[in-house]
Amino acid sequence: MVVTTESVPQWFSELFAHRRWIRRVQPFPHVYARDVFVPEFYQRLTDQLDRVRRERPEIFGPIAEGYSADGIRLAELRDGPLAVFTSREWHNLVAQLGGVEATGDIEGSVHHHAPGSPFGWPHNDLNPAWFHGEPPGPDEVRVPDGTVDTKTGAHAPDVVARETVRAVAVLFYLGNPGWAPGDGGETALYDHVADGNALPSVTLVPPLDNSLVLFEVTPRSWHTFAGNNAKDRNSVVMWVHRTRADAEQRWGGDRIVHW
């Protein structure tokens, strides 16, 4: 497949090393790319991550209860190169590749798994997410700002909360130099969740620096962190969103997994 960047600003198009990414159908449809950004920009991304971890360690914390990674929200990283992941241009590219009509809302974090982190659990990411205010305009994005609980929608009486559903997931790997087969920490993709009759087909996506995997969030986009990593494992994990009505029309309201 060819990534289309002709209609975006020149500054954004020039970040990419090439436009040929791979669309794969097994174990569920997803896009995979190596050498996503030009080396100079990729180095700036890792430099910012290293600087933030060194100078502001207090802003890293547990991602979620029972989850083995710590991290920092992308909303806290909008003053440097990592802000590319909360740009409208990136949002639109992700939505295009996922084949969805997205709302302009972005949720995500930089995740860090320490060596020896345990295997995760298969999940499909088909979850709701709440954002503050009206939908963003065509050149804007909305990120969580603390006024609305992203998972539950809880908010103060004078705050407007708007429900969306995760539509496209992206995992971009960075800060993992020298990764080699056997080092662990891959992302496992499954064709189904084991039901006792047939074992799932598994594809392991390696956490190679400057690579990504991207997929539409569906009832069958089963995946997890494969664990057993010999070294630190870092990634950007993010989603763009669709309206609740769109998700219900496409999948049915009973398929949306509430927290």
DSSP-assigned letters across all residues of the chain: -B---TTS-HHHHTTBS-SB-EEE-SSS-EEEESS-B-HHHHHHHHHHHHHHHHH-GGG-EESSTT-S-EEEEGGG--SSGGGGGGSHHHHHHHHHHHT----SBEEEEEEEE-TTPPP---B----EEEEESSPP-TT--B---SSB-TTT--B-TT--EEEEEEEEEEEEE-S-TT--TTS--PEEEESS---SSSPPPEEEEP--TTEEEEEE--TT--EEE----SS-EEEEEEEEEEEHHHHHHHH-GGGS---
Note whether residue 3 is domain-resident: no
Read off the pLDDT of each residue in 17-36 and give the average, rounded to a whole number: 95
Residue 197: which pLDDT band, with cuts at 50, 70 and 90? low
Residue 186: which pLDDT band, with cuts at 50, 70 and 90? very high
Note whether residue 221 is domain-resident: yes
Note whether residue 150 is domain-resident: yes
Note whether residue 72 is domain-resident: yes
pLDDT tens per residue across span 45-65: 999 999 998 887 777 777 666
Note whether residue 4 is domain-resident: no
Note whether residue 2 is domain-resident: no
Note whether residue 22 is domain-resident: yes
Read off the pLDDT of each residue in 165-194 and give the average, rounded to a whole number: 95
Residue 81: which pLDDT band, with cuts at 50, 70 and 90? very high
Note whether residue 135 is domain-resident: yes
Read off the pLDDT of each residue in 222-242 and give the average, rounded to a whole number: 96
State the residue range of the domain holding 238: 10-255
Q: Which CATH number covers residue 147?
A: 2.60.120.620
Number of structural domains the chain divides into: 1
Residue 4: which pLDDT band, with cuts at 50, 70 and 90? low
